[in-house]
Structure formats: structure tokens, C-alpha cells
Amino acid sequence: MRQLVECVPNFSNGRDPHIYESIASAIDAVSGVSVLNVSADADHNRTVVTFVGPPAAVEEAAFRAIEMAAQLINLDQHEGEHPRLGATDVCPLIPVTGVTMTECVAMAQRLGARVGSELGIAVYLYGEAATRPERESLSAIRKGQYELWKEEIGRNRERTPDYGPAEARPWGATVIGARPFLIAYNIFLNTDDVGKAEQVARAVRYSSGGLRYVQAKGFLVEGQAQVSMNLTNFAKTPIYRVHELVRREASRYGLQITHAELIGLTPQQALIDTARWYLQLDDMQDSQVLENQLVGEGVTGQALLPLAFLEATAAPTAVPGGGSVAALAGALAAALAEMVAGLTTGRKKYADVADKAGAIGEKAGALRVTLTAAISEDAAAFEAVMAAYRLQDVTPAAKSAAIEAALLAAAEVPLRVADLARQTAELAEEIAGIGNVNAVTDAAAAAYLARAAADAAGLNVRVNAASLQDRDTAMLLRERSEQVRAEVAEIVARATAAAAERGGY
């Protein structure tokens, strides 16, 4: 199973696109990370960025974002509706797939230690990563906001950070932690009386006697009263129950809900649950949702290859193209090898090869993640080549140098994909020889896909190398590509022969 962690850092600027777009770009530049949403709010003067990726990549992206925010945001000059403590106010890590909460806690600890030591930022751990009970709550750590923190840090022992210096800096402090998925859900009322919104929030939030998994506060946003909420467990306290309680409490003051908004992303299940409740579709199945069928939801409930990538490939645009598809083929090959290994470990019949199969599965999983990241890397490399050719207002020498560098990178990415495909073919050969005989044809399919990946990637190496001015480098790239392709062909021949012999076909 692919390891995925979600990170939803909140930055104390929602008014300057240069600032929050620079932070988002710093995150997006990390290989393997996908930025899913950037939500900026001028009234709150706050931006929420949602991104996902493998644990190591997410850690690196979060660090770069915190570093960038500290350079661009000065809390001494910041004002906004939302409470805040630092330039990067809070940075939660949320397990998605293949990662436990305990692992996210360890990530928070590593990230916090690095931010404190390398960036000189005071760091507090919260949520599941809290080092003491009173710091589990974000609001407790943020009490008094930046202004009170600045006065008390270094003087009040309760303000001593978990990492970093106990001194005031203009970037403030950052709160890092691990928690379950949270839905940021805001409801607007037909009034400009923020006091009424706060009274409704008081009735709804858990800390003052409301619903168990709700945090709420009243704000004035664009002249309209808002009940701003964080829903920390939508399965136990669903959106529709929160919405109805806000409606009922607001009606007590003669108010109505005008509209609601989501900040960042929400799980689809939360919306399906809401539809079931409001439409009284008690027997509705998730499989009755069209989009679930379109992404190929199988009997295991796991989504297969999304149609979005296939549609993007089929579109009359240059990317994604053959290089990205080569990386995808390699990732699928690694996934099949990982699957066969998983079907082998834990079976009595294969107890004598369990350790070896387990090691193959781990290596295949790592290759799958790396090759998946290469899908976007190849597209980015091609776009960099096009951007270099379009350069204007530079000297001819500078433009030529930029094109040469971009072409070299565009050749190196598929060469790496080809080499990763070779490693994947080797794992397919290994598992074909020892793995569960009922899945031996899957091992053979992995080998064939690895060869397709190496062949397609090799073609991209040759095409980009042909345009290089440095002919010696071009020759070395082509030679290495041909060597890898030949090695893969030999490995695949052995793997498929072994699979055929064991499978009896």
C-alpha cells in the first residue's frame, strides 16, 4: 500500500498573492508532493495549503514552507480576524494510507527538531504529538496570540517551546502536530452582529457544552457574521448535525443561515453522509455515486487508476506524454511485484521464503513511490524545455545555455526511469521464482511492464540527447540508455520463463 500523509499548514497571510503563492511553490517544488488546494482569506489574513505525499517528501516540503513563511511574513506587522501565533501558525500531519498516527507523531517530532535547530523558530508540539496534556489543544498553546507570546516567551516557563529558542522573533512560533482529518466549515448568518455569531458558536462548540468534536468561534467576515468551525471527527459528529444545530441556535435570535463554506478539502464520505441524511437515502450505497464508478471502484473498495490521468494523456496537449506514461508503466510493474510479494508472505506454504518475499515487497513499494513521482517529474522536465525555447529578453548565449540545461534534465529523468524499471524487472524475476504460484502470471506481467517502461523511457532519452550541443554527453546518455534496455530485456526473458515454468503455461 502506498504511504500517503496529508499536511495542512496555515500561514499568517491571506492578502498578498506573492507571499502565499511563493510558499505554495516552495511546497510544490518537492518531488513526490502534490499541492491539492490553496485557500486564501483576506479577512482572516490567513492561507491554508493542503498537500499530500510520501512521509519523507511531506516532511521536506513542510520544512521548506515554514522556512519561506519566516522569510516573507512579519508578525509585528500582521493583523487579521483569525487567532495566530506565527508566520506558519500551525502545521498538522494527518495519516491517509499506509501510515499510522504513531508514524505521523514521529514525523512531527523530527520536523519540529529540524525547524527549531536550523531555522531558529520556536516550535510547540500539539495534538497526538503533544509532550504534555495541556498542549494537546491548539487554542491553549495559542492563548493570547502572538502579542502575549512575545511578552512571555523567555520569562514564563509555561511558554518554553519543545524545540528552538525561547525568544521572540518577528516570525513568531510554529505549532506542529499530528491529528486525524479535520474539516474547516464556516456558516454565515444574516447579520453583522458578531456577538450573535459568538453566542451561536458558544452553544455549538464542545469546550462550552456543545458537540463533542466541534471547535467554533464567531467572526465578522466581509461585513457578515460567521460561525467558523473545525470539525475534528466528522464520522462521530457529522456536518449535517452541526449545520442543524447552528440553524436552531441562530433561529433563537431571529437569524437565518445565508450560506456556508469549506476551507481546504473535505473527504467525499462526509458529503455522502450528509446527502444520505438530508435526502433520507438510508439505503444508498457508496457504489451508487457515479464518480466512484468512474474511477473504477472494485469489490475491495479501492480505487483503480483514475480516469483523470488517462483523459489528460488523451488530450491534445504535450503533457503528460510518453515519458510520463513510461514512468506510470514502471510504477504499475512495481505495484504488481509488490502485490505478488504480499500474496506470498504470511502463507504457510511459502514460510521458507517469507523473509525474502517481504524484502522484495518493501523494495517494490519504494520503487513504486519513486516511479509515481517521476510521472510529474518528466512532465515538468518537458515543460522546462519549452520554457527555455520561449525565453525572451536574454542574450543568445544565455538562451542557448538554458536550453542545453533543460534538454539535459529532460534526458536524465527518463534515463533514471529506465534504471528504476531495470530494478523493478529484477524484483519481478525474483518473485516469479519464489512467489505464490497462483500469482505467478502477475509477476510475469510486472516484468513485461518493466520492459515497456524501459523501452519507452529509452526513446525519450535518445530524442532529448539528439538535440544536445554537447555531443560527448549525448553519446554517453544514449549508450547508457541502450545498455539498460538490453539488461532489462535479458532480465524479463528470465522472469517470464520462470513464471511460465512454475505456472505451467
Active centre residues (catalytic): 82, 378
Q: Which of 218, 216, 220 is nearest to 208 (CA)?
A: 216
The answer to whether the CB of 153 falls within 8 A of the CB of 159 is yes
DSSP assigned state of 79? -
DSSP assigned state of 301? S
Residue in this structure with the C-alpha cell 488523451, named with its chain if needed = 314
Residue in this structure with the C-alpha cell 539535459, named with its chain if needed = 408
The answer to whether the CB of 458 falls within 8 A of the CB of 418 is yes
The answer to whether the CB of 19 falls within 8 A of the CB of 40 is no
**Strand bridging mode 122-127 / 34-41:** unpaired
**Strand bridging mode 214-221 / 224-231:** antiparallel
Q: How far is CA 34 from the centre of its chain?
A: 5
Per residue in 388-423, is it b (16+ CB within 10 Å) or e — as a string?
Answer: beeeeeeeeeebeebbbebbbbbbbbbbbbbbbbbb
Give me the helix-helix angle, 239-251 and 194-204, nearest 10°: 130
Cis peptide before 320 (omega within 30 of 0): yes
Per residue in 139-158, is it b (16+ CB within 10 Å) or e — as a string?
Answer: eebbeebbeebbebbeeeee
Q: Give me the DSSP letters along 180-228.
A: S--EEEEEEES-S-HHHHHHHHHHHSGGGTS-TTEEEEEEEETTEEEEE
Our separate counts of H helices and E strands in the chain read: 15, 11
**What sign has the CA pseudo-torsion 468, 471, 473, 477?**
positive
Assigned C-alpha cell, 400: 542557448
3-state secondary structure of 333: helix
The helix or strand, by DSSP H or E, that contains position 176, with its residue range, turns out to be strand 173-178
Residue in this structure with the C-alpha cell 524487472, named with its chain if needed = 425
**What sign has the CA pseudo-torsion 119, 122, 127, 132?**
positive
